[in-house]
Each structure stands twice: as C-alpha cells, then as structure tokens.
Amino acid sequence: MPYETIIYEKKGQIAYITLNRPQLGNAINAQMTRELADACQGINEDEEISVVILKATEGVFSSGSDPKEWEMGCDAPSAVASLGRVVIAAINGDAWGEGLELALACDIRIASEGARFCLPHTGYGLIPRGGGTQRLPRLVGKGKALEMILTAEPIDAQEAFRIGLVNRVVPSEKLLQEVEEIAKRITTRGPIALRYAKEAINKGLDLTLEQGLRLEADLYFLIQTTADRMEGIRGFLEKRPPQFKGQ
C-alpha cells in the first residue's frame, strides 16, 4: 500500500523505512504509527528480509510525538520492537521524545556527529510512554537513565556513545554508508541464527541467568535441525562463504 508519512523500500535482503514528515520534524502521529505497523507486519511476513534500516528524511531523526495528538497517544516504538529482523537506526539528527524511543526499539543505533538525544517528558509534567523508562535503563544503566529522564536535558552524540546509547558516531555524510555496510555484513549471516540470537538476548534480559541459559540452549538445539546449520558447516569445511536460505 502507498504510504504518506513514511517511505518503504526493499533492496534484496535489506528493507528501508524512512520517516517522512520533514516539514514537521518527522513528528510521529497516529497515521505514521499505523503506517509503521503495517510496514513492519509486511516485513515480518517476508522471509527474504534479514535487516531493516530505520532512517529519516534530512534534518532531524524525529522531534517526537506530534503535539496535536499528545492526548491520543501513539505507540510507534512497539511496531519497530515487533520486528523479528535485525533493525538498525540511522540517526541523522535530533532524536527527541518518542523519536528517541523509536531508536531505542532498534537493535543497533548509529548516529551522526550532530545528533542530540532527549526525553523531555518531565518538563511537560509527563513521563515517557513509548518504552523510554524501560529500554533506556537496560541500555545505559539505571543512574544515567534517571538523570536523562528526570532532568529532561539533551545529550550530544559523543555522550550517547560514551554511555552506550549508540553503537557508533560517524560524520553525517558517511552515516548511511556506515549503516549499509553493517547491514550488508549481517545479511551474510544465517537468517535463522540472526532471529534466534536476537530472541535469546531480548527475552533473556527479563529472565534469571539460569532461565536465560535454558532459553539459549533450547534455541541452539532448534537450530541444529535446520538446513542452514548444515550449510554453515559445509561452507567452513570447504573454505567458502555459506549460502544460507533461511531453512
């Protein structure tokens, strides 16, 4: 279906979702949330896709929720979090409010040098509602998350890298190139292994160590039954790149 607030493209094993409300700072509204949910559902049904790149039109990544729809509430981050594929955020500018929460729902975050990050909700008498109070401390620790949320003050890209909020910081003109290089490397890995590894890590965070180890073992044994596992072994023994088929 055609979208108005996002741009969806697919190139081989990589899907691109671009936030596309540039005149409004890529503010997230109900329509964008619906379109993101629809695009993410389509991606989950497409076995060819291994990696999703979430980016935005030039200027900012996202200024957050559209102020005109604050009372309605949007949950765009849940749509991104529902993806069973590897999701990389290319953060080309400010990620504010729900825009930051959208990035937090991704698996890997690469930021341009001029990007800033902020959860300003307490300054408006609110709290984050798109996962900020839960995903941020899991990334940066309780103390730093409390500081960011309680002060509602922004941090720059270098500080975001220092505390583990983003994986890398690169010049803005090299951002998409860097993200695509990471995505292309990931597409050479076993697609089932990618999904199981993501599942083990994400679900394991909410389990005890013993429970997490059992989950890891269960997923490991499941993958032993796949054709990809045998192809990986053959590729290693034959000293060639394996040709995974997601089977």
95-152 pLDDT, tens digit each: 999 999 999 999 999 999 999 999 999 999 989 989 999 999 999 999 999 999 999 9
The backbone torsions φ and ψ at residue 33, rounded to the nearest 5 degrees and listed phi first, read -60, -45
Between CA 146 and CA 140 the distance in angstroms is 10
Q: Where do the domains of the chain lie?
A: 6-187, 191-237
Average pLDDT over residues 83-93: 96
* Contacts with 215 (C-beta within 8 Å, 6 or more apart), sequence order: 200, 203, 204, 207
CATH 3.90.226.10 for the 6-187 domain, yes or no: yes
Q: Residue 236: in which H helix or E strand, if any?
A: helix 227-237
**With contact defined as beta carbons under 8 Å apart, do 163 and 142 qualify?**
no
pLDDT exceeds cutoff 90 at 225? no
Closest C-alpha to 85, from 193, 160, 213:
193
- Which residues on adjacent β-strands are paired with residue 90? 110
The per-residue pLDDT for 60 is 92
For helices 191-204 and 227-237, angle between their N-to-C axes, nearest 10 degrees? 110
Task: Give the model's confidence band at 66: pLDDT under 50 very low, under 70 low, under 90 confident, else very high.
Answer: confident
| Residue 70 in this model has a pLDDT that exceeds 70 | no
191-237 topology per CATH: Lyase 2-enoyl-coa Hydratase; Chain  A, domain 2 (1.10.12)
Q: What pairing do the DSSP bridges indicate for beta strands 155-156 and 116-118?
A: antiparallel
Q: Evaluate if residue 18 carries a pLDDT over 90.
A: yes
